[in-house]
Amino acid sequence: MAKSQNYVVWNSIDNITTHPGAFSTKKDAENFKEEFVKRYTTQGYYRDNQWNKVPLTEVKGKLMIITEQELYKKIGLSTH
């Protein structure tokens, strides 16, 4: 039986995940990505970990939905 795939939303601006857990479906991850951007609508920008203002028009393109296995590779962890 194939192992089920989990997804994370990777913030490539700050090189971190945007949520502490993983999503069981890609659709759930996509929904969270939309909600993440909406959080910053009132202030009109996202502030990165270097305190730079990033326009919201750029943020959505910098959030990537990747598998947990891809995340482990990004951060240098073995999946075994």
Predicted local distance difference test score (pLDDT) of residue 75: 82
For residue 33 the two structure tokens come to 């990505």
What region does 62 belong to: left with phi over 0, alpha with psi -120 to 50, or beta? alpha
H or E element, residue 29: helix 26-38
Q: pLDDT of the chain along its 80 residues, tens only?
A: 556 799 999 999 999 999 999 999 999 999 999 999 999 999 999 999 999 999 999 999 999 999 998 998 888 876 65
Say how far residue 28 (Cα) sits from the centre of its chain.
Answer: 12
Query: How far lies 4's CA from each of 7, 23, 25, 69, 77, in Å?
Result: 10, 11, 9, 11, 19
Each domain of the chain, given as residue ranges in start order, spans 7-24+35-74
Distance CA 32, CA 74 (A): 21
